Amino acid sequence: LGLLYQEYRDKSTRQEIETRRLQDSQTDPEENSPSEETPSEAEPTSTTESKAPPQISLLRNSNSRFNLWQDLPEIRSSGVLSILQPDEIKLQEAMFELVTSEASYYKSLNLLVSHFMENERLKKILHPSEAHILFSNVLDVMAVSERFLLDLEQRVEENIVISDVCDIVYQHTVNHFSVYITYVSNQTYQERAYKQLLQDKPAFREVISQLELDPKCKGLSFSSFLILPFQRITRLKLLVQNILKKVEEKSDRENTALDAHKELETVVKACNEGVRKMSRTEQMISIQKKLEFKIKSVPIISHSRWLLKQGELQQMNGPKTSRTLRTKKLFREIYLFLFNDLLVICRQIPGDKYQVFDSAPRGLLRVEELEDQGQSLANVFILRLLENADDREASYMLKASSQSEMKRWMISLAPNRRTKFVSFTSRLVDCPQIQCVHPYVAQQPDELSLELADVLNILDKTDDGWIFGERLHDQERGWFPSSMGEEILNPKIRAQNLKECFRVHKSDDSQRRKLGSRNRQ
């Protein structure tokens, strides 16, 4: 059997990490640099499954599970490698990886349907409504993948030198990929239903465990199959980015790649919004129930409002002149709810409730870090409300539990302020960068989930092990533990990463101008 998509994706991203490590260690990355491509694993098809994936003749080489386009016997025997320029070979590899990864993805989708969804024992255990929530429109997703793969296969078989694939990506994204939005938007319900079934139905738990042990699954969990569509649509955008970085500038292939990337980005954003919408609505309703207003009531629930950060801080009592070493008596607890457009300041009261005593629009907040005041006043900052609930200016001296918590609050409260390494409003010429070597799942709203091989600009860091970063491929920002990544030390590699990032987004001038300041949470 060939590689399942989960294996393919893991191998590909880890190879990307190793390639970047090697480039980073070289004095001159232009000399003796290995291929920038992540090797593409050949995907032999399986005849043991109920529905065989579409056949791709170039992928039938069973001698290796990990092939490059240039390693295929058809390519080596054709003599084309002696004719093509090195840059064109790199481009061929990038396009070939998009095709082979789709074959691997289709194989895994087929296994999800044939091995899990169509299992007779599982069908008897699940009510039709439960099965619908659990598997959603995966049949539609698989049908779309099959049509996409067949068109890619036809293009590959037209000529051993692939002319283009981004035109096919564009057509399918525009006409068919909306099925991904439907599937991914169901993710919150899907996860909840799966956990509930494991808890409430021992028979379901037993069957799933037995199915996971089948050699077909190669030790992979059922949940890893359920999340495949979201992983694939995100990865597909990155694969198109990789092609875009290698096509000749101002060419038809560049324009086609830019168009495909733009459409994929629209689908990915819609998927992300679909996932967030339900959880955000539930969260806002929950918060609204916990708030009691000492001041004039502010409506919390709004379709355009979501939570950015919440938590406890210590407020200093009395004017600044009254500060003494008796800080424990000078500070008392307050609780903040920070939304994308509003700050609510509360005190916790019995019954898991919060009494609101002040508020302000987020745009009218300013923060200021205190100079070194000694250990007793460490991690203290000033929060100014230019116009509070009483229509006047107010100031709060607040103490956080750690340096990272202080910086996280300051950046969330006032996202336009300058960070340690770069101003949000400046053009990014050079700043520290990091690549992710361990995946990370965000635990708080102001954190950023990371995938293997993500490259990020480091905008700020703390002494206690946290980094505030901006991911290059989508400009999403957030905090993550510094242990999740390795800093990129070679300035030429950093400059190359930024140059490629600008090129990917060149079709939207306004997006390019905002590269250092968009998506401020």
The string of pLDDT tens digits covering residues 228-263 is 999 999 999 999 999 999 999 999 999 999 999 999
Which residues lie below 8 Å from residue 372, measured CB to CB, with a gap of 6+? none
CA separation for the pair 402, 145 (Å, rounded) = 48
Which residues lie below 8 Å from residue 242, measured CB to CB, with a gap of 6+? 37, 94, 97
Q: Are 97 and 239 in contact (CB under 8 A)?
A: yes
Sheet of 394-399, strand order: 291-293, 353-361, 342-349, 331-339, 307-316, 394-399, 380-385, 365-369
Total residue length of the chain = 521
Least confident of 4-8, 116-120, 232-236: 4-8
pLDDT tens-place string over residues 146-189: 999 999 999 999 999 999 999 999 999 999 999 999 999 999 89
Q: Are 12 and 41 in contact (CB under 8 A)?
A: yes
Report the greatest alpha carbon distance in the chain.
Answer: 84
Domains and CATH numbers, the chain: 66-286 (1.20.900.10), 294-319+329-413 (2.30.29.30), 424-510 (2.30.30.40)
Cα torsion 336, 337, 338, 344: sign: negative
At residue 102, the 3 state secondary structure works out as helix
pLDDT of residue 330: 72
Residue 52: pLDDT over 50: no
CA separation for the pair 224, 228 (Å, rounded) = 7
Q: For the chain, what percent of residues have pLDDT higher than 90?
A: 65
CA separation for the pair 196, 381 (Å, rounded) = 44
Crossing angle for the helix pair 228-244 and 138-158, to the nearest 10 degrees: 30
pLDDT of residue 232: 96
CA separation for the pair 394, 396 (Å, rounded) = 7
The alpha carbons of the chain give a radius of gyration, in whole angstroms, of 26
Q: Select from 320, 327, 308, 368 the least CA-distant residue to 521.
A: 308
Residue 47, token pair as written in the block: 């005849």
pLDDT tens-place string over residues 435-477: 999 999 999 999 999 999 999 999 999 999 999 999 998 889 9
At residue 433, the 3 state secondary structure works out as strand
Cα torsion 23, 28, 34, 38: sign: positive
> What are the distances in angstroms from CA 517 to CA 61, 309, 363, 424, 464?
47, 20, 15, 5, 26
CA separation for the pair 155, 346 (Å, rounded) = 61
